[in-house]
Amino acid sequence: MRYIRLSALSVLIACPAFPQAAAPGLRELSASFESLAARVRPAVVQIFSTGYAAAEENNEGANTGNLLTRQTATGSGVILTPDGYIVTNNHVIEGARKIEVKLAMRDPGHSQEMRLPAKVVGADRQTDLAVVKIERDGLPTLPLGDSNALRQGQVVMAFGNPLGLEGSASTGIISSTSRRVKQDDPRAYIQTDAPINPGNSGGPLVDTEGRVVGINTFIITQSGGSEGIGFSVPSNTVKMIYDQIRKDGHVHRGHIGISVQTVNSILAKGLGLSQDWGAVVSDLEHGGPAEVAGIKIGDIIESVNGKEMEDAGHLEEAIFNLGMAGSANLNVIREGMPLRVTVTVHETEDDPERFADMVDPQNNLVPQLGILAIELNDNLTSMLTDLRHGYGLVVAARSPSPPYTGASLELGDVIYEINHSPTLTVKFLREKLNQMKAGDAVVLQVERDGKLMYVPLELD
């Protein structure tokens, strides 16, 4: 049996008994959507990227032998400034060698589409956001709204280029204002039932005022198409990431040196807590910001910067979104008594995956080791302090199935030598490996976590 799901609006329109007096209201509703689409669409772009991605394994589980394969992708983006700063998803442009942006408008007096080259300003893998720039002035823009002000049931529209269908729009509501897809993931998304499909990635989710309240990022589906479960990065997170990328080219994240757990009824009874909800401090970083500020194990954190913390996930999300805010105001319950504590936000040590943003897949590939390596420069040495040498190659990415037998290289390793020969350049390392054959012994001198070590391996 085939089921057809009709919206309330379509039923009302089709029903011949619908009172004639309501027709003006429907016309006004339709006109408001038309006006909103007309305002939003000029600032929504289509993004074409050509680049490289990790090679997939075949049906037998064996790698094709290449670390990277050439791929093309399309997605969406939204213009935030008249001089061409555009926000999109990182996965739309990740690994791209060439990026082009197609504008919704056309050149005055010309029929050709406006397709312009773009450069990556910066990207953030954790939030799956990126900023690209095109060289053009006087572009239409959309403002970022306040995602904290969203309410469940609020009407929204999604714009983008699903399945390559340029300039598409869909409507729906906010299904959830803060949805964590994985329990231990501090990232929270806006959930919407507005139809979102592949190609919508990076496009805006807007409210009825035309403000961007989210960047459409992914869907949960069993069919491969939209099933009314779409997720967008909240606009307040977008603003934090966008501002930092524009300023520094990358993202600084803050931490306060705290571990928390969700309070439940058993925890509350056993520990004699004053409430059976919220987030309780289970551990503190010794000498960390929270401990220095006076936070103690067993404290219940009720709110961060005025926002109520319902559980540990909400607190981790709030800390994740602090950025480098300077300080955070925590309302705390300690042995039933309320306290207010101001904690200084410290910068989180960068994770090794940050180096992958700096690679050029063709120039940095070392196929014999299954890695992408970057030559040390001033930028890298400022990120990797107290290195033993001023030269070397940083491992920025690696294949899950390396083409050799032996110990694995790790992200962030600095390779100083190959069989006693200093590795000053990627080209030298490739040439040295090209002189070897299968079965030859290779010993790399590597610095890992501040310690020198030898990594012995045998080429396949």
Active site residues: 91, 128, 201
Provide the token pair at 343.
Answer: 């904690």
Instruction: List all residues 6 or more positions away from 231 whose beta carbon is below 8 Å from its beta carbon.
Output: 179, 181, 189, 190, 191, 192, 216, 217, 218, 219, 220
Lookup result for tokens 């029903």:
15
Q: Which residues, in sequence order, are CB contacts of 386 under 8 Å at separation 6+?
A: 450
Angstrom CA distances, 270 to 81, 211, 263, 280, 296, stand at: 54, 47, 11, 13, 18
Backbone φ and ψ of 4, nearest 5°: -115, 125
Contact between 42 and 104 under an 8 Å Cβ cutoff? The reply is: yes
| Cα gap 98→440, rounded to integer Å | 38
- Cβ-based neighbour number of residue 256 at 10 Å: 23
Going 388 to 394 to 400 to 403, the CA torsion angle's sign is negative
Contact 232, 214 (CB under 8 A): yes
